[in-house]
Homo-oligomer: A and B are copies of this chain.
Amino acid sequence: MKKLGSQTYSFESDISIISGVSLVGGKEGAGPLKKYFDFVEEDDKMGQKTFEKGERLMFLKTISSAIKKSKVEKDNIDLYLGGDLMNQLVSSNYTASELNIPFVGLYNACATMAESLIVGSIFLDSKGMKNIVCATGSHFSTAERQYRYPLEFGNQRQSYAQWTVTGVGATVVSTEKTSNIKIKMATIGKVTDYGVSDIANMGAAMAPAAMETLVAFFTDTNTTQKDYDLIATGDLGKLGSDIFKDLMMEKGYDIETNYVDCGHMIFNIDQDTLQGGSGAGCSASVFNSYILSKLRSGELKKVLLISTGALMSTTTNQQGDSIPCIAHLVLVEGEN
């Protein structure tokens, strides 16, 4: 691995994405990306007694399926890397217990998908490991009751709020097997806090972190938006995306033509999700479906995935703190 500038790393090994699997709930499955998802689960409890136990099964199904699709024997998966939005990352922990693969728990909130791809790529680049499964996800009903209100309360949502995606994404990265999709570079984000303290306004809180990471990447690599086919942020939603575009413009980068936000893409406007999707499962499920599919087909060649995370808790919110945020970036290239 080679360091470029202050925060960016380019990988020297040939790191291939050999499989990616996405699973979403019924609402996400009824949205515009419907045909790209591997699994759409209409029962968001997955036949379990609680949403939390259902979420766990979603993780297990997605990860097991990604391993199967990679055609790597489970015993040859060196590591499971990932986390989730539940306190203490319990969806991932209980899944790791079922999988019986060495486990390293990660948490950067909704930036965990890019975080896990970065950590996985660095681990592969240090040679000792050959196959790693990276995964994260979120669940509307478990997140809503953990972070906000009991579902039964039926609270009214602010017009600038977003909707936590029920979805999981899992990616197998490998230096042993090869594919035409490679992870080439990564920028590790710094925690950024512009003082937003309204936990309903995640997009506004996270947009500056996305901007700082993307500007660091452009500076470190001496490139601009013109060098990439697609720039995709994780879950800024419509409002957050607009703020992000404005912030990029202020820095001299006009990203209008090749920029999308996974949260903005995942729902239709008539699905009542206000500013769109959020949650760790948002960029995880969109990356492992739509984005990988377009890279596979050759429609996209150079993609920047920038997963964005808001790092507060209910306690810090109650104690009046503002919301620290982070964004991690990976450069993924399709070779066709």
Contact = CB atoms under 8 A, between A and B. Distances in A.
B319 A97 contact: no
A104 B104 CA distance: 12
B9 A324 contact: no
A87 B119 contact: no
Contacts of A191: 93, 96-97, 100, 103
A190 B101 contact: yes
A106 to B, nearest CB: 6
A316 interface: yes
A104 B93 contact: no
A50 interface: yes
A235 interface: no
B97 A104 contact: no
A1 interface: yes
Report whether over half of chain A's contact residues are helix, strand or loop; otherwise say mixed: mixed
A1 B123 CA distance: 9
Which interface class (under 10, 10 to 19, 20 to 34, 35 or more) fits A?
35 or more
Contact of A190 (B3, B100, B106): B100
Given A102-B190, A107-B107, A87 B313 contact: yes
13 contacts: A3-B78, A50-B319, A83-B107, A86-B315, A88-B313, A90-B313, A93-B191, A93-B324, A94-B321, A96-B326, A100-B191, A105-B107, A123-B126
Interface of A: 1-3, 7, 9, 49-50, 52-53, 78-79, 83, 86-90, 93-94, 96-97, 100-109, 115, 118-119, 122-123, 125-129, 146, 188-193, 311-316, 319, 321, 324, 326
Given A93-B324, A105-B108, A125-B126, 7 more contacts: A50-B319, A87-B88, A90-B315, A94-B311, A94-B321, A96-B326, A105-B106
Closest 8 CB pairs of A and B: A126-B126, A1-B128, A93-B311, A102-B188, A96-B191, A88-B313, A97-B191, A97-B324
